[in-house]
Amino acid sequence: MFRGEYHNLIDEKGRLSIPAKFREQFAAEHEGVPVLTRGLDNCLWLYPGETWKRNEEQLSHLNPFDVNARMLVRGFLGSSVECEIDKQGRIAVSPVLRKAVGLDRNVVVVGVLNRIEIWDREKFEQQRMLATGSLESLAQKLSEKGNIPDLTL
């Protein structure tokens, strides 16, 4: 599981250093080449190869005659790229993906369970401000729908 928040920079060649803790997890727990894609909320998602394969399998079951399903699959898979983590622990983030979510030099790398999110730092801070005052409200709404586990110990 990925968790934690790290502030980082994208260099002039479009490379991003993956935090050491996340690199260790990729090396220890995951097989296959990581996949980077456009995520929701205007950020990028980086998946371990095996997790990505499960996502592709689930998406393959969507109805191709449903316009929303086609758009989701096209958006999610069409922008995906395999990305090796180099010896310095970096991935190359394509100009197309950087432009799609407005990544500049300053980024935030966030562990979110089975994936890593890569955010433009300003956008991440704006998102955090929106959520901070409403975490309790969001938890209540999800709980009422039966969509949140009991997090008490």
DSSP string, 30-49: --S--EEEE-STT-EEEE-H
In this prediction the pTM is: 0.85
Q: What is the mean pLDDT of residues 108-126?
A: 95
pLDDT attached to residue 29: 62
Q: For the chain, what are the domain ranges?
A: 2-120
Average pLDDT taken over every residue of the chain = 88
Residue 75 is predicted with a pLDDT of 86
**Which helix (H) or strand (E) covers residue 15, if one does?**
strand 15-17
CATH number of the domain located at residue range(s) 2-120 in this protein: 3.40.1550.20
C-alpha 140/C-alpha 59 separation (Å) is 29
